[in-house]
Structure 1
């Protein structure tokens, strides 16, 4: 079952996960920075995306990172997606 997640919750989850993978503090991960500037290799990015889908309870579209290339933008997209799924249920 998909959960309803706010943009702030999604952003915190992403920042915490990225910081953990990079071995840095969450405060060192700027929400406005582009994903391709975060020193994540493609394997790590795929792992994070898979874990996020498990956490959310639904699959993110394959173009989600392309159209929402920052943590902040993706978090807002996730919140909208969650809201749409909740109202459609």
Structure 2
């Protein structure tokens, strides 16, 4: 398992959100709250599942609550990724 960096996580999230929203990646504001992106609950669950599959580990259920922007979640993912790699 390889550590995922914050820039890698951010790029992944931006790309997935852009595709889901039908916009260019450059149009995704990484400091905007997730609930402002107009994703319905099904889309959010699909995105979370794809993210966990890409990462290779599960995020805690409260991750989006405590890290509510792409930028904040990306930093958290990098920390969790490093912790998971170190524990492996």
Q: Same fold (TM over 0.5)?
A: yes
- CA apart distance, 1:87: 1.4
- CA apart distance, 1:3: 3.5
What's the TM-score, normalizing by structure 2? 0.96
Q: Unaligned stretches of 5+ in structure 1?
A: none
Residue 17 of structure 1 aligns to a residue whose secondary structure is helix
- The separation in 1 between residues aligned to 2:2 and 2:15, in whole angstroms, is 19
Instruction: Spell out the pairing of 1:1-89 with structure 2 (5 A cutoff).
Output: 2-89=1-88
Q: Unaligned stretches of 5+ in structure 2?
A: none
Residue by residue, what CA displacement relative to the aligned partner does 1:46-82 show, whole Å, maximum 9, x if unpaired? Answer: 1000000000001111000000000000000000001
Instruction: Answer whether contact 1:3 1:56 (CA < 8 A) is retained.
Output: no
Aligned residue pairs, count: 88
- The separation in 1 between residues aligned to 2:21 and 2:84, in whole angstroms, is 32
RMSD (CA atoms): 0.8
- The separation in 2 between residues aligned to 1:83 and 1:61, in whole angstroms, is 15
